[in-house]
Amino acid sequence: MPQLKLNYFDFHGGRAEPIRLALAIGGVAFEDNRFGFPAFAEFRKTTPFGQVPTMSVDGMQVTQCDAMLRYAGKLAGLYPTDALQALFCDEVAYVVEEASVRIGPTFRMTGDEQKAARQALVNGSMPVYLAWLQGQLAAHGGEYFADNRLTVADLKVFVDVKGLNSGRLDHVPTDLVQQVAPALNEHAQRVANHPGVQAYYAQFAAK
Amino acid sequence: MPQLKLNYFDFHGGRAEPIRLALAIGGVAFEDNRFGFPAFAEFRKTTPFGQVPTMSVDGMQVTQCDAMLRYAGKLAGLYPTDALQALFCDEVAYVVEEASVRIGPTFRMTGDEQKAARQALVNGSMPVYLAWLQGQLAAHGGEYFADNRLTVADLKVFVDVKGLNSGRLDHVPTDLVQQVAPALNEHAQRVANHPGVQAYYAQFAAK
C-alpha cells in the first residue's frame, strides 16, 4: 500500500470526510493531518490552488477531493469494478459536489447577504438535487446508490446529508432533507450503522 | 456494447466534446444527438438539472459530463486501469472542470460586466491552472497526462485549450496558453495529430 497523508480541517465533515471514512472502512492506513483555520492560512500556500483537502501519495501531492475519494475507494474495495455501476457511483458524487460548489461562496458571506443566498438555494437547487438523489437510491434498489453495496457514493451523500441536518448551516432548515427526501435520512442511518463507520467514529469518542 | 445516445449542443467543443472524441477514438458506436440553443430550451425540461450533456445508456438517462467521460474512457480503452494513474487522470479532469465552472457564469454576462469578470479570471485563476497543467504534463513524461499514453485527461485538456485559443471567448487573449503554458499547445497538437482524432474530425470536413 502507498504511504498516504490526508490534509484537511479538523472536523468530522466537509470534502475530506468521505475519504477518511473510505480509507478507515477499508483498513487502509493513512496519516490524518488535521488543522484549524489559522494553520490553514499557512498550509494553503503549499498547495497549488489554495484549497484543501490535499493528499500526499508516496510523497506526491495530489489535489481534488473526489479524485482522491475514487482512489481511496479503489484501495478500500468501495468502488465498483463494473463500468456502469462506477458511472452511477460517479454521477452521484458529481451531483453532491456540484451542490457543495453552489453553497461554497455563502460561507464567505454574512448577515442578510448570506441569508438571501442560502434561502435562494433552499428554495431552488437544493430540493432538486436532494429529490434526484432520493430517486437514484430508489432506482438502484433503495439501500445503496450503486453496485448493491456500500460504495464511496454512499459516503459522499452521507457526509452531505449529515451536514445539512447538523444545524451548522444557518438559514438551511434542519428538516430540509426530511421534508424533501426522507429516504436519504434512512440511507444516512444505514451508513452510520455500518460496522466500519461505527468503528471509525468510536475511535474519536474513546479519546 | 450498450446503446449510447449523447445529447449536447451542435459544436466541436464544450463539455460533451471529450466524450465524443473518446467514443470515436475507441470505435464505440453512439448516437450523437446535437441541437441548437432554441431546441435546448425544450430539451432541458427533460433533464434533471436543466443541464447538458446528458447521455442515455440503454435508455437510462445519465448526467454529469466527467462521469460520462470516465465511462466512455473505459469503453474506449482510454482510461487507466492502474489506480494511481487513474488518480492522475481524474485530478486533471477535475482541475479543468473547476476552471469551466468559474468561467460558466460569464457566458450569461454582457459588456463591461463580462469584461471585468473574464479579466479577473485571466489575471487570477486561469494562469494558475494552466501552469499547473503544464507542470503535471512535465512530471508525467511530457507527452501525456497519465499512463504514458492518450487518456481521457488528454482529451479534456485538448478541448479546453482549443476553446481558449479559439477567440470565441471575448476578453480572453488568444495567446494566453502560449504565454503561460506553451507545452499545452504542443500537447494539443499531439492530440490533434492522433489518428483517431484526425479521423473523427475528417468525418465532418467531408460533409
Cβ neighbours for B132, distance < 8 A, ≥ 6 positions apart: A48, A49, B95
| E strand segments, chain B | 4-9, 31-35, 54-57, 60-62
Binned at pLDDT 50, 70 and 90, residue B17 comes out as very high
Backbone angles phi, psi at A143, to 5 degrees: -105, -45
Tell me if B203 is assigned to some domain. no
In a shared domain, residues A107 and A147: yes
- Radius of gyration for the alpha carbons in chain A, expressed in angstroms and rounded: 17
Interface test with A, best of B57, B64, B74, B126 (most A CBs within 10 A): B64
Tell me if A206 is assigned to some domain. no
SS (H, E, C) chain A: CCCEEEEEECCCCHHHHHHHHHHHHCCCCCEEEEECHHHHHHHHHHCCCCCCCEEEECCEEECCHHHHHHHHHHHHCCCCCCHHHHHHHHHHHHHHHHHHHHHHHHHHCCHHHHHHHHHHHHCCHHHHHHHHHHHHHHHCCCCCCECCECCHHHHHHHHHHHHHHCCCCCCCCCCHHHHHCHHHHHHHHHHHCCHHHHHHHHHHHHC
* B77, B105, B122 - which closes a domain: B77
* Cell numbers linked to A155: 459516503
Binned at pLDDT 50, 70 and 90, residue B16 comes out as very high
Model confidence pLDDT, tens digit, residues A144-198: 999 999 999 999 999 999 999 999 999 999 999 999 999 999 999 999 999 999 9
- Which CATH number is A109's domain given? 1.20.1050.10
Model confidence pLDDT, tens digit, residues A127-153: 999 999 999 999 999 999 999 999 999
Contact call for A48 and B94, based on CB within 8 A: no
Tell me if B151 is assigned to some domain. yes
CA quadruple B29, B31, B36, B42: dihedral, nearest 10: -140
Q: Mean pLDDT across the stretch A84-91?
A: 98
Q: Which of residues 91-130 of B touch A (CB under 8 A)?
A: 91, 93-95, 98, 101, 125, 128-129
- Residue B59 zone, left/alpha/beta (φ > 0; ψ -120 to 50; rest): left
In a shared domain, residues B121 and B186: yes
Give me the percent of chain B exceeding a pLDDT of 90.
Answer: 98
In a shared domain, residues A72 and A87: no
In a shared domain, residues A103 and A134: yes
- Residue A171 zone, left/alpha/beta (φ > 0; ψ -120 to 50; rest): left
How far lies A165's CA from each of A158, A184, A192, B183, in Å?
Answer: 11, 11, 14, 47
In a shared domain, residues B88 and B187: yes
Contact call for B94 and A70, based on CB within 8 A: no
In a shared domain, residues B70 and B121: no
Q: Distance, in angstroms, between A12 CA and closest chain B CA?
A: 24
CB A125 within 8 A of CB A43: no
Tell me if A200 is assigned to some domain. no
Tell me if B205 is assigned to some domain. no
In a shared domain, residues B88 and B161: yes
Q: For chain B, how many structural domains are there in total?
A: 2
β-bridge partners, A33 = A7
The rounded distance, in Å, linking the Cα atoms of A30 and A7 is: 11
In a shared domain, residues B87 and B45: no
In a shared domain, residues B109 and B154: yes
* B54, B77, B100 - which closes a domain: B77
* B32, B59, B77 - which closes a domain: B77
Helix (H) or strand (E) holding B67: helix B65-76
Q: Which residue in this structure is represented by grid cell 492506513?
A: A29
In a shared domain, residues A13 and A98: no
In a shared domain, residues B50 and B135: no
- Which CATH number is B67's domain given? 3.40.30.10
The rounded distance, in Å, linking the Cα atoms of B82 and B64 is: 23
Residues of B in contact with A95 (CB under 8 A): 49, 63-64
In a shared domain, residues B57 and B97: no
Predicted TM-score (pTM) of the model is 0.97
The rounded distance, in Å, linking the Cα atoms of B5 and B7 is: 7
Q: Which domain holds residue A32?
A: 4-77
B71 has a chain A CB within 8 A of its CB: yes
